[in-house]
Structure 1
Amino acid sequence: MVLAAGRGTRLAPLTDSTPKPLVAVAGRPFLEHILEFLRASGIREVVLNLHHLGRRIEEHLGDGARFGLRVRYSWENPILDTGGGIKRAEPLLAGEPFVVLNGDSLLELRLVEVVERHRERGAVATMVVRPDPDAERYGLVELDADDRVRRVTGQPPGAPGPLRPFMFPGLQVFESAIFDWMDAGAAFGVTRVTYPRLLKAGAPVQGFVTLARWVNIDTPGALAAADAELRRQPFRF
């Protein structure tokens, strides 16, 4: 699932007429880089949640056949934030493990390794994390010595230490049981609500630490940097 419903307010006025996932990076819509990554990783079915200028995204991708994918859409009105958006897409996702990633960032890694680790550890959720001195800006994730997630955005308090801080760039793997931890019809963030709920209950949440190259287009500065980076060295998946 690609989270693609956001308004992209930090990229306005560009995103007043273009949905953020379709903003051009290195000569093509950023969303096409994401779809290329997913297809190269062996994924063939993709769900996108849509809200802001969603018709533009649907018109661009269609059924996904020209990208070698089957693409389906989960519409939101009103917008439901990350967790609410995932929950709304349950009919399209339930029954097997699935990957979720943001529509405005991408890691150059082997997704199969993340999924294998997720299965080996018997996790209900796995968060891909990166070391970053500014980790709190992106949502602080704290891991123990076994790479098990113990705290997300400061919750739950009193988690056993010592813990190591990381940033979360939005790539995650879920078992379909994750939907049992989400409230239908509500707007909520997966890092602010769902992960703390899992951790307080002692559910197994795994971290996957990576140093893989990461780009995002969340701000004008990040967009310019991503464009320059991918023109200099395109992704290799």
Structure 2
Amino acid sequence: MKAMILAAGKGERLRPLTLHTPKPLVRAAGVPLIEYHVRALARAGFSELVVNHAWLGQQIEDYLGSGEGFGVSIRYSPEGEPLETGGGIFKALPLLGDAPFLIVNGDIFTDYDFSTLRRPLSAKAHLVLVDNPAHHPQGDFRLHDHLIEDGAADAASLTYSGIAVLSPELFTGCQPGAFKLAPLLRDAMQSKQVSGEHFTGRWVDVGTHERLAYVENLLQEAR
């Protein structure tokens, strides 16, 4: 199974850090956020990675290189203009192949064990959900009998973690250009083609200076 790190975000809320540095290379405890993912994926047995990028993306390629220094092989999917999550993944499909693949948002921090996702996919998608953080109390979806249903703002709703396994079949009929992933997932949910799980471990959406400082505190405590 291949894995894709979504690294095309501009990181507007992390300015001025992201004025001259792409968001995935912003450091937490001295290490770029994207490096934590690369090393975790390598430990989990993923040897072939794809990374998309846009804003200052060449810096990401310069830092990670071929991936050899991390024990993996990395291929890149540069985006001349932002394609959003769905469009970015669709553009990278030729690099990802015909089998299901893992995706992970480059701007989260987590101790999730990616190796648990290296198993056959029986649906069009499998999403990892987390408890609703304070900045997203309404949640995104409901989890019922291992299937995911649309249900933002429902009492039982959970938040999409930015970690998933997707089948290329999910993108059947899509056209090149910018589009969101969520509508594709919601369409698949209608036919019960999206499975899921609830992760209760460490997870932070590193979208602000405050959350970046929180991650640094977690790392310092761990050390």
Identity %: 34
| Whole-angstrom CA distance in 1 between matches of 2:45 and 2:23 | 25
- Answer yes or no: is 1:196 the counterpart of 2:186: yes
The 1:153/1:195 distance shift into structure 2, 3 A limit, reads farther
> With structure 1 as the length reference, what TM-score do the two structures score?
0.86
Letter in structure 1 aligned against 2:123 = A
1:90 Cα shift?
Answer: 0.8
Aligned to 1:55: 58
**Contact kept? 2:132, 2:139, Cα under 8 Å:** no
Query: How far is the alpha carbon of 1:133 from its aligned partner?
Result: 5.9
- For residues 68-107 of structure 1, the aligned pairs below 5 Å read 68-107=71-110
CA RMSD of aligned residues (A): 2.0
Residues 48 and 72 in structure 1, CA contact (< 8 A), matched pair in contact too? yes
Alignment check: 8 A CA contact 2:107 2:207 kept: yes
The answer to whether the aligner puts 1:27 opposite 2:24 as a matched pair is: no
SS of the equivalent of 2:172 reads helix
Distance 2:138 2:39 in 1: 25
- The separation in 1 between residues aligned to 2:134 and 2:51, in whole angstroms, is 29
2:79 and 2:5 mapped to 1: Cα distance? 14
2:171 partner amino acid: F
Q: Which runs of 5+ in 1 are unaligned?
A: 155-161
Task: List gaps (5 residues or longer) in structure 2.
Answer: none
Change (3 A) 1:88 1:75: same
Q: Secondary structure at 1:165's aligned position in 2?
A: coil
Give SS of 1:14's match. coil
CA distance in 2, matches of 1:179, 1:63: 27
4+ residue runs over 3 A deviation: 133-139
Q: CA deviation at 1:186?
A: 2.4
Counterparts of 1:4-23 in structure 2, within 5 Å, are 4-23=7-26
Q: CA deviation at 1:147?
A: 2.2
**Offset, 1:107:** 2.3
Partner of 1:172: 164
Aligned residue number for residue 186 of structure 1 = 177
8 Å contact from structure 2 (residues 102, 117) kept in 1: no
The structure carrying a bigger strand percent of its residues is 2
How many residue pairs get matched? 220
